[in-house]
């Protein structure tokens, strides 16, 4: 069921107020990947399959900068992670077609795809060799026999932090002449040909879990990052090693006390690029990563980009230099680093936010995905240096007749004098002489960021609220990305408290401007945004309604249940047992007796990042003190709502809640 049109002005006669389903169904682009010869671009595009209740990602291709077309069509699952063979003749990708995620290959000229691998477990990543004759890939080790024997004898149990399957590095030959013969005839099953088509484990004796890897440009080595086990927090002990095919052995190259992350090879195969926290295990959640280059013999270890105060991501090294992207407030330009000096420069102003990019082998052509304030994510094709940029997609046409958000950046002074920025969304028919209800929507992270957008959404019906007659503020509170390391550190030992200052001061700023109705203000957010909303529920009476999505209610119970314990220690600088006071100061439950705001609570059933106990604790506490509340558990989900039907339900739940308390309307939940 779609919602109706809520705009009652003449403007609405030509512009459509989209339904919740319309927004959830928007097709998007990502992961632009140019062929090594610079002539073709493959990218992924996501659509919604409402019947199967899933998001479907498939491969699209553009040839010679022409209009793109769909390349794959997996009817039950997605196709993703496309990677070109170095000779530009093939595209390999991951897809689950028969119950396991395996490597598929398809000719760049088109035609049917072929399944290259048939392994026991899911494949999580892969890379081509430089001669296009081999593919290395990652999959978890097979312990099914041992697990079966244990269960038959002792039933089901698991020892916490002690049972896991390591991610292992395998290699398979790629012979395109064999592909049309798959499956091989019965009489060939014992032949040399069949044996050569089997994948082989590269390091059989490894006592670590491989994170990522890449062949050297000369094809003689593989650099890889690894950690003691696959548990999420084991990354703090990650190191980098080099495997040498000539000696069939590997050795550690980088092993700082904290995490080391392999990035890329130099074009001459003599040096690698890596990011590291060096010895920092107590503040690296919010401080900048440090970027280094080191020769593979261990010499000339030197830091790069020391002049750049933000994290640089998606780094790549080619003949033209080292490239990456980085948040600069709410912009995300392409960054160039000179390998020898380590100095940085910003290369782009448009599009305003680049999300992915890739270069041709010679570095003279590139493809990238980007978005501006008033459009959708598109794919671009350009020469390098960036000139003659060409748009090869037109996803923005989906919203050409919609009433969408009009965004502007505003700033204000928080309680302690810190300057805070935020995105203010206005309806297209905004009247500066009116006072609007305000909905504050708080991003997660805390090192996330809110940016201007024509179609902001997730489980919050932002466009529909704007078209109903409201303003939306999305604050980039202290701790947000894009404003430098010092700003990201401002909520250390001050979580919730300083964040609440930033939100409340933003609301007061809009009140002083005379553009909002201070008696009709609400707040909501997911994850860290849910935590801040929960903190506001018990520490402020400014809001008429609040929605807490997967939010922390008590740092003590969160600490013992989450899958990232060091997060709490780094931000609060203590365990609950060493400093109970800081945990109480920053926990919403501490001041539950002061709560008065009607609060909706939304949470995934199997959330490990923010355990569901946090939702039940806040729910019970609000009931005990007589505050109106509702708890909705989304079955089968973890920390996020990643299926369209449940995302639609969560959107309706928020629409209902704020209609009741902001607009004094009773909205019936649709039955079909």
Tens of pLDDT, residue by residue over 76-132, are 899 999 999 999 999 999 999 888 999 999 998 878 899 999 999 999 999 999 999
Q: What is the spatial distance between Cα 607 and Cα 474, in angstroms, rounded to a whole number?
A: 25
Question: What residues form DSSP beta bridges with 294?
Answer: 272
User: Does residue 524 surpass a pLDDT of 50?
Assistant: yes
Task: For residue 65, give every residue at least 6 positions away whose Cβ sits within 8 Å of its Cβ, in sequence order, or none.
Answer: 41, 381, 390, 392
Average the pLDDT over 156-170 and give the result.
Answer: 90
Outline where DSSP puts E strands in 119-205. 123-128, 134-140, 167-173, 200-201
To the nearest whole percent, how much of the chain has pLDDT over 90?
85
In the chain, what is the straight-line distance between the N-terminal and C-terminal CA atoms, in Å?
6
List where CATH 3.40.50.1820 sits in the chain: 402-662
The distance from CA 47 to its chain's CA centroid, rounded to whole angstroms, is: 17
Q: Which segment of 5-14, 65-74, 286-295, 396-405 scores lowest on mean pLDDT?
A: 5-14
pTM across the whole model:
0.93
Could you tell me which CATH class the domain 402-662 is placed in? alpha beta
| Residue in 114, 224, 269 with CA at minimum distance from that of residue 179 | 114
Computed over every residue of the chain, the mean pLDDT equals 93
pLDDT tens per residue, range 306-348: 999 999 999 999 999 999 999 999 999 999 999 999 999 999 8
Q: Identify the band that residue 194 occupies on the pLDDT scale cut at 50, 70 and 90.
A: very low
State residue 6's pLDDT score.
36
As a whole-number percent, the residues of the chain with pLDDT over 70 amount to 95
pLDDT tens per residue across span 609-646: 999 999 999 999 999 999 999 999 999 999 999 999 99
C-alpha pair distances (Å), 136 with each of 92, 124, 173, 177? 12, 11, 9, 19
Q: What is the CA radius of gyration of the chain?
A: 26
Strand, helix or coil for residue 640: coil
Model pLDDT, residue 15: 84
Tell me the residue length of the chain.
Answer: 672
Neighbours of 295 (CB within 10 A): 14
Q: Are 440 and 524 in contact (CB under 8 A)?
A: yes
What one-character DSSP code corresponds to residue 256?
Answer: -
Q: Is the pLDDT of residue 413 over 90?
A: yes
Q: Reply yes or no on whether the pLDDT at 192 is more than 60.
A: no
Residue that has been written with the tokens 């899933």 in this structure: 54
d(CA 50, CA 652): 16
424, two tokens: 């203010």
Q: Report residue 569: phi and psi, to 5°.
A: -65, -40
Beta-ladder partners of 422: 410, 475
| Nearest in space to 570 (alpha carbons), one of 491, 498, 499 | 491
Mean per-residue pLDDT, 441-462: 96
Phi first, then psi: give them for residue 46, nearest 5 degrees: -105, 135
């Amino acid at each position: 069921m779609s919602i109706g049109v809520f705009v009652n002005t003449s403007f609405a006669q030509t512009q459509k107020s989209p339904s919740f389903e319309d927004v959830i169904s928007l097709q998007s682009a990502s992961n632009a990947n140019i062929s090594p010869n610079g002539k073709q671009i493959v990218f992924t595009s996501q659509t919604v399959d409402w019947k199967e209740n899933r998001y479907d990602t498939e491969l699209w291709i553009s040839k010679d900068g022409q209009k793109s077309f769909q390349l794959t069509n997996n009817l039950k699952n997605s196709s993703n992670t496309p990677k070109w063979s170095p000779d530009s003749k093939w595209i390999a990708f991951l897809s689950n077609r028969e119950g396991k995620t395996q490597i598929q290959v398809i000719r760049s000229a088109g035609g049917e795809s072929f399944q290259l691998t048939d392994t026991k477990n899911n494949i999580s990543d892969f890379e081509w060799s430089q001669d296009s004759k081999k593919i290395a890939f990652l999959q978890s080790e097979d312990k099914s026999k041992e697990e079966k024997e244990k269960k038959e004898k002792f039933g089901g149990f698991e020892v916490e932090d002690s049972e896991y399957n390591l991610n292992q590095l395998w290699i398979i030959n790629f012979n395109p002449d064999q592909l049309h013969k798959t499956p091989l005839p019965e009489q060939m099953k014992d032949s040399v040909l069949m044996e050569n088509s089997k994948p082989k484990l590269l390091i059989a004796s490894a006592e670590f879990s491989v994170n990522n890897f890449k062949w050297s440009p000369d094809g003689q080595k593989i650099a890889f990052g690894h950690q003691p086990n696959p548990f999420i927090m084991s990354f703090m002990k990650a190191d980098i090693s080099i495997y040498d095919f000539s000696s069939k052995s590997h050795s550690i190259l980088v092993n700082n006390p904290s995490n080391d992350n392999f990035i890329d090879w130099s074009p001459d195969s003599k040096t690698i690029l890596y990011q590291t926290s060096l010895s920092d295990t107590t503040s690296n959640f919010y401080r900048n990563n440090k970027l280094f280059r080191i020769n593979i013999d261990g010499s000339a270890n030197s830091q790069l980009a020391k002049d750049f105060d933000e994290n640089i991501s998606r780094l790549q090294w080619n003949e033209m230099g080292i490239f990456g992207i980085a948040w600069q407030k709410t912009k995300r330009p392409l960054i160039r680093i000179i390998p020898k000096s380590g100095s940085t420069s910003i290369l782009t102003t448009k599009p305003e936010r680049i999300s992915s990019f890739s270069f041709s082998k010679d570095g003279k052509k590139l493809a990238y995905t980007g978005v501006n304030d008033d459009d959708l994510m598109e794919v671009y094709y350009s020469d390098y240096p960036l000139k003659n940029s060409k748009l090869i997609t037109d996803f923005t046409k989906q919203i050409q007749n919609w009433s969408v958000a009009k965004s502007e950046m505003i700033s204000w002074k928080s309680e302690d004098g810190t300057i805070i920025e935020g995105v203010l969304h206005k309806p297209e028919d905004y009247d500066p002489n009116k006072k609007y209800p305000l909905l504050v929507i708080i991003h997660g992270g805390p090192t996330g960021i809110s940016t201007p957008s024509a179609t902001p959404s997730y489980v919050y019906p932002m466009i529909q609220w704007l078209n109903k007659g409201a303003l939306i503020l999305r604050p980039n509170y202290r701790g947000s990305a894009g404003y430098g390391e010092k700003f990201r550190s401002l909520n250390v030992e001050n979580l919730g408290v300083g964040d609440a200052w930033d939100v409340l001061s933003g609301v007061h700023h809009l009140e002083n401007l005379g553009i909002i109705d201070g008696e009709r203000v609400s707040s909501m957010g997911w994850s860290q945004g849910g935590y801040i909303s929960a903190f506001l529920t018990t520490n402020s009476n400014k809001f008429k309604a609040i929605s807490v999505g997967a939010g922390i209610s008590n740092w003590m119970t969160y600490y013992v249940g989450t899958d990232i314990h060091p997060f709490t220690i780094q931000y609060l600088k203590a365990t609950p047992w060493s400093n109970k006071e800081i945990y109480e100061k920053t926990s919403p439950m501490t001041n539950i007796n002061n709560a008065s705001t009607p609060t909706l609570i939304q949470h995934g059933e199997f959330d490990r990042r923010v355990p569901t106990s946090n939702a039940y604790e806040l729910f019970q506490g609000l009931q005990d003190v007589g505050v109106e509340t509702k708890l909705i558990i989304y079955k089968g989900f973890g920390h996020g709502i990643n299926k369209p039907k449940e995302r639609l339900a969560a959107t309706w739940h928020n629409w209902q809640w704020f209609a009741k308390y902001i607009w004094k309307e009773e909205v019936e939940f649709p039955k079909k």
